[in-house]
């Protein structure tokens, strides 16, 4: 119900590029969000996902984070995991465009799952160094099998709980962080605060599922109000956060 009401409000309040006077945001919308090019990589993204969606093998999963709203057992098929937890094709194409547009050199992903998002980011900037964290060892094993291609050698996977892994990451800054797991208010704010010192002026934080629950939306409001945050862009599925000091603090809701 929270998601439905939030979506109606989003439709009423959101706009396209005409609502954005900031050249930075205008360019992001027109040159990245609304870029209609049929990139050759989209076919590779589709094949990666289709492969997983056709895999009937089952694995024992360890439920991390806020727990699943869909499953009751811990035995799941790969195809069901891909369908319910994996990034959709449309969203993985958007992630591809964002990474292609900003060309971040260092990327951190919280929540590898089967590697759909990781794969999209790696294809979008093969020169980037990607670190991706997943708690469930069995899921990560499957992701590994699919991320083995030599052109994806820029991916470093880490198995463990976000809480402990992020304490031990030896990077001073991250250009892009994709927060895509553990969708609870407290956890989201904890990871945001822990990783905030690793943001620089041009870093981008992307939060998935900001309307997943009331708690997630409250977390999103807290993040928007943080003094270090300047521009935010809410696309309903995601909240994008920018720290650019040259921007006024301004919040956008954009239909993608």
Ligand X SMILES: C[S@@+](CC[C@H](N)C(=O)[O-])C[C@H]1O[C@@H](n2cnc3c(N)ncnc32)[C@H](O)[C@@H]1O
Q: How many residues bind ligand X (CB under 6 A)?
A: 20
Q: How far apart are CA 199 and CA 115, in angstroms?
A: 24
98: enclosing H helix or E strand: helix 89-102
Among 10, 64, 71, 102, binds ligand X (CB under 6 A): 64
What DSSP string describes 122-184? HHH-TTSEEEEEES-HHHHHHHHHHS--GGGTTEEEEES-HHHHHHT---S--SEEEE-S---
The single residue among 100, 182, 198, 253 that binds ligand X, judged by CB under 6 A, is 182
Please tell me whether residue 239 binds ligand X under the rule CB under 6 A: no
Contact 109, 165 (CB under 8 A): no
CB of 64 to ligand X, least distance (A): 3
Distance of CA 100 to the CA centre of its chain: 14
- List CB contacts of 181: < 8 A, sequence separation 6 or more: 64, 65, 110, 111, 113, 134, 135, 162
CA distance 236 to 6: 9
Q: Which helix (H) or strand (E) holds 162?
A: helix 162-167
Nearer to ligand X, 6 or 112 (CB): 112
87 is a contact residue toward ligand X (CB under 6 A)? yes
**Can residue 86 be called a binding residue for ligand X (CB under 6 A)?**
yes
- 237 sits near ligand X (criterion: CB under 6 A): no
Is residue 181 a contact residue for ligand X (CB under 6 A)?
yes
* Min separation Cβ 16 and ligand X, Å: 26
Identity of the residue, 113 or 230, whose beta carbon is nearer to ligand X in the bound complex: 113
Chain center to CA of 11 = 22
Residues 99-128 that bind ligand X (CB under 6 A): 109, 111, 113, 116-117
Q: Which tokens go with 112?
A: 């590898």
Q: Figure out which of the listed residues 162, 174, 211, 236 binds ligand X, where binding follows CB under 6 A.
A: 162
CA 154 – CA 152 distance, rounded (Å):
5
65 counts as binding ligand X under rule CB under 6 A:
yes
Query: Looking at beta carbons only, is 15 or 62 nearer to ligand X?
Result: 62
Q: From CA 41, how far away is CA 124, in angstroms rounded?
A: 8
Nearer to ligand X, 9 or 163 (CB): 163
Among 52, 123, 131, 135, binds ligand X (CB under 6 A): 135
Instruction: Give the one residue of 94, 123, 136, 254 binding ligand X; rule: CB under 6 A.
Output: 136
Residue 32 Cβ, how far from ligand X at the closest point, in Å?
18
**CA gap 55, 104 in Å, rounded:** 32
The answer to whether residue 180 forms part of the interface with ligand X (CB under 6 A) is: yes
Residues of this chain that interact with ligand X (CB under 6 A) are: 64-65, 85-87, 109, 111, 113, 116-117, 133-136, 139, 161-162, 180-182
């Amino acid at each position: 119900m929270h998601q439905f009401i939030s979506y109606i409000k989003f439709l009423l309040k959101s706009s396209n590029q005409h609502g954005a006077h900031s050249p930075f945001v205008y360019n992001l919308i027109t040159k990245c969000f609304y870029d209609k090019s049929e990139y050759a990589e989209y076919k590779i993204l589709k094949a990666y996902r289709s492969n997983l969606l056709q895999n009937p093998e089952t694995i024992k999963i360890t439920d991390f984070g806020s727990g699943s709203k869909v499953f009751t057992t811990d035995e799941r098929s790969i195809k069901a995991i891909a369908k319910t937890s994996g990034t959709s094709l449309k969203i993985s194409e958007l992630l591809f465009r964002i990474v292609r547009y900003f060309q971040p050199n260092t990327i951190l992903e919280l929540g590898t799952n089967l590697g759909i998002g990781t794969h999209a980011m790696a294809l979008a900037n093969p020169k980037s160094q990607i670190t991706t964290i997943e708690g469930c060892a069995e899921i990560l094993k499957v992701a590994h099998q699919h991320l083995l291609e030599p052109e994806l050698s820029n991916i470093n996977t880490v198995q463990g709980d976000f809480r402990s892994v992020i304490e031990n990451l030896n990077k001073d800054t991250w250009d892009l962080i994709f927060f895509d797991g553990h969708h609870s208010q407290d956890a989201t704010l904890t990871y945001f605060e822990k990783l905030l010192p690793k943001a620089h002026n041009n870093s981008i934080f992307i939060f998935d599922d900001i309307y997943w629950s009331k708690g997630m939306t409250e977390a999103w409001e807290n993040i928007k109000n943080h003094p270090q945050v300047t521009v935010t862009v809410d696309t309903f599925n995601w909240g994008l956060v920018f720290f650019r000091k040259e921007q006024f603090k301004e919040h956008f809701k954009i239909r993608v």
